[in-house]
Chain A
């Protein structure tokens, strides 16, 4: 029986010729990532070594990445103190892939790993963040874990007792229509699968729409695979993966473009004709409550958010800037923009996108996650409605259980910012 990409990567990392779905393996980890919650990882890591008489040393500092993004700059003395503790630990352990709070580097962890070339096809990547699924966009098997599990990886260099997951093959057919984006595909798919439709499984993306999609779009697909419960989303590495890593991330090393076998066994196969898709909206309060835009067009919004690890990339800002250039955001609407990284921020500044957005009335924030998860800036007022390009709309997500969050693509967010109500970007400006 043939092997899926996930099986091949796990077999290689476990030192086995092949693995079956359900086998228990201990893959060697190629990259272990965490953000502010590194403070808790350190706590648990030191706990592992307590009473052993051994010096607490991470297994391989070159394979650890630590990126501050969740609450930057620190919103409280508590966070600042934890960041200080992490900064000192990273220095003491020799962790070079450490990205502090500064404008010449860093940003949101999932963008930073990709653009710094830390991600590679064939890698096993674990991250103490559920959206670690993002890194499947570059052909890696990447999954989220809790802080204690990451501490265990720091100590052992392996993810212990991993059960080989089954894969769902998603074939994306056709070409995306104008003003329809990878975000609309993944929202549609999460709606189709439900919030737990891929729980304990990997989503492997195929089809001509996947092949034609740049890495920026593949990151969106894989990022939100976890919203269907998936362990990982993965796009088998191809020419675009090589282009991105060589030309954009500056990777010169040989790359292992792991492919699934033609006779790989899948849990199920889902075909989606992307040409037929309208812009999609995930309605409050679950990500799988997805509707085509017509069902909610006209809904009044108070806050528009463009950004996050899902949709804060340069092409997203380009779409927003083009839609807002020379226009004005509707009265009573505030628009917050969070580029996904400082590299993107600087390039958007050079290209004039940030000026276009600010002159239209947007507030451009520093790269970070705070608004998306309701912990730092951009909270909603009671009864307010947000339309956001982020990835979750759970009750309370944007800092207030009495607020509502709708999720959409950057094109929908930008058109709606001008109109003040949820607006189909294909129907033109107001």
Chain B
């Protein structure tokens, strides 16, 4: 069971997750400090270590829309967050899978900050409200990457196969 530490609406852009003015910072080891930088309270909690790994960011439709900046995925991953949303924008979802950030698609999910969610393989149960919501599996095209632990190990395996 994990707590919803940040509840958001529709169309949360990558500018919201990782503002463009921090784009010069690229390394996954350095991006976590700017996670939701314009949401001072949540950013402050993240930076002061008040948010345990495995905590949930809950959003509605089209989470991660906009820029392809991979910092938006690495900044969330750096804090060990799990993103549960009704839907995700394509590039963000791919970046998340490529980096191993956990994203969960639950098209009808409802919840508020402070709710306790249980994220299973097939459904999300909101233990606070008692309601449960189906999970849509991630695109089958991406399963091999998830199984390999991300796109870098997957590509490494392929490069080695090619080299024979």
Q: Give bound CA distance, A196 to B61, whole Å.
A: 8
Which chain B residue lies CB-closest to A75? B24
Q: Mark B39-62, 1 if CB is under 8 A from A, else 0.
A: 000000000000000000000011
Query: Is B16 a contact of A396 with CB atoms below 8 Å?
Result: yes
- Rounded to whole Å, the gap between the CB of B64 and the closest CB of chain A is 10
Q: Give bound CA distance, A71 to B27, whole Å.
A: 17
Tell me which of A11-19, A139-147, A252-260, A271-279 binds B: A139-147
Query: Is B26 a contact of A37 with CB atoms below 8 Å?
Result: yes
Given A47-B152, A144-B91, A396-B38, CB of A76 within 8 Å of CB of B24:
yes
Q: In A35-85, which residues have CB < 8 Å from any B CB?
A: 36-37, 39-40, 43-44, 47-52, 54, 70-71, 75-76, 78-79, 82
- Determine the interface band of chain B, counting residues with CB < 8 A from chain A: 35 or more
Q: In A171-211, which residues have CB < 8 Å from any B CB?
A: 195-196, 199-200
Q: In A146-172, which residues have CB < 8 Å from any B CB?
A: 146-149, 151-152, 155-156, 160-163
Q: Mark B114-136, 1 if CB is under 8 A from A, else 0.
A: 00000000000000000000000
How many residues of chain A get a CB closer than 8 Å to chain B's CBs? 58
List residues of chain A with CB within 8 A of the CB of B20.
373-375, 396-397, 399
Query: Does A24 count as interface, using CB distance less than 8 angstroms?
Result: yes
Query: Does B144 count as interface, using CB distance less than 8 angstroms?
Result: yes
Query: Is B11 a contact of A195 with CB atoms below 8 Å?
Result: yes
Query: Is A71 a contact of B156 with CB atoms below 8 Å?
Result: no
Out of B27, B65, B151, name the residue touching A195 (CB < 8 Å).
B65
Query: Is B24 a contact of A79 with CB atoms below 8 Å?
Result: yes
Q: Give bound CA distance, A54 to B139, whole Å.
A: 31
List residues of chain A with CB within 8 A of the CB of B87.
196, 199
Query: Is A39 a contact of B26 with CB atoms below 8 Å?
Result: yes
- Rounded to whole Å, the gap between the CB of B63 and the closest CB of chain A is 10
Interface centre among A49, A79, A130, A401 (most CB of B within 10 A): A130
Interface centre among A132, A162, A199, A286 (most CB of B within 10 A): A199
Q: What are 21 pairs between A and B in contact, CB < 8 Å?
A: A43-B26, A47-B152, A129-B67, A146-B68, A146-B94, A147-B26, A148-B152, A149-B95, A152-B154, A160-B144, A161-B142, A195-B62, A195-B65, A196-B11, A196-B65, A229-B90, A288-B11, A375-B22, A375-B23, A392-B15, A395-B38
User: Which residues of A does B touch, CB under 8 Å?
Assistant: 24, 36-37, 39-40, 43-44, 47-52, 54, 70-71, 75-76, 78-79, 82, 128-130, 132, 144-149, 151-152, 155-156, 160-163, 195-196, 199-200, 229, 231, 286, 288, 373-375, 379, 392, 394-397, 399, 401
